[in-house]
Structure 1
């Protein structure tokens, strides 16, 4: 009689049992569906039996459900990988300047740099520098500008206060006023990955979704 290894035999049996359990869980939904289909066929009205088209339709449904489940699992896996990659990229942004929608002016060494987006080309563009009270304290004439993203620089007059300054863009094409979206700069202090999205902790705008960032410098 051939001898058997009780240890290896037990391990193999355990692994086989685990494999069978995993497969059973995976195919549980399919098994239930097929059992219902068989029961339905056994108890069908003999005078009005299911035809081939009905059976084919039932089987097509289970194939569709199984395919959707596998697709959802693949998408979930891909989303997780993309999020991890995005989180790693976000960590490299700490300490860097970013561009996002907003009209605050940040003055560094006597100069402020910001930008704006134009829906269409403009014949005339000017940027109004506003005090905290909303009063125009200076104007930057930029002339004609192309559609899309544009930038400007403002030199602070000697002795002028730089606290709480904002700006407003006035763009025209002929007599028509154009839509201009102000863009401001901010600095990334930290990155957070709570929930299922990446967020940046900005110096002036606080917690900001990564998707709102227009540009990185």
Structure 2
């Protein structure tokens, strides 16, 4: 599918999240402090135990195993955090190739080609629809045109509309009405957009900054054009 949406002179950028040395230092310090407290308590317990009823080897081994388990879990958590940070950075670097490309993402904004005087968009159907209509609306919801796409199979379908009859310099949206007989088909409206930057959110998930829609999760992208 070829996008006819207007292009932009914005230069794409790639943001790579950095790992935090401070958080590693704090984590390591906390683990060391916990070990130190445990050893002091153990020594105090041994020094003040009843000579007639001393701690047996099994009890001592159990307590040492507990602190080792806690330490091991902390180290495992630190390792997993480091791996997630590195994987997020690799994802962002790989996704940098998307900068400048067109995509289909969830949204209902029409993309205009002023030269060809056309407006384009796309839809995704989860199942076959015997009757599909596109309603062109203003931002306020006023319907200014209705176009029938007829019968469509399940999957993605692009459409091109004659925009010469639409108000000039007015952002327009579209709504999909799809049915199969008397049953409603839940169609997803898809808009054409352009990737201008890639990055990650607070949880490390990959995000794309799009020319029209702004920042959006990568999961919302249905196709790369």
TM-score, with structure 1 as normaliser: 0.70
Matches within 5 A, 1:155-194: 155-156=161-162, 158-161=164-167, 163-192=170-199
**Structure 1: runs of 5 or more not aligned:** 1-23
* Runs of 4+ with >6 A deviation: none
- The residue aligned with 1:127 is 133
Counterpart contact for 1:111–1:153, Cα < 8 Å? no
Higher RCO by CA contacts (8 Å cutoff, separation 6 or greater): 2
Is 1:77 the counterpart of 2:82? The answer is yes
Counterpart-to-counterpart distance in 2, 1:186 and 1:123: 26
Equivalent position SS for 1:131:
strand
TM-score, with structure 2 as normaliser: 0.68
**Structure 2: runs of 5 or more not aligned:** 1-27
- The residue aligned with 1:216 is 224
Q: Deviations over 1:102-157 (max 9, x none)?
A: 11110223344422333x423324132313142141313241422xx412212315
Equivalent position SS for 2:98:
coil
Q: CA RMSD in A?
A: 3.1
Larger Rg: 1
1:194 to 1:182, Cα distance in 2 relative to 1, 3 A: closer
Counterpart contact for 2:119–2:163, Cα < 8 Å? no
Counterpart contact for 1:127–1:167, Cα < 8 Å? no
Matches within 5 A, 1:50-69: 50=55, 54-69=59-74
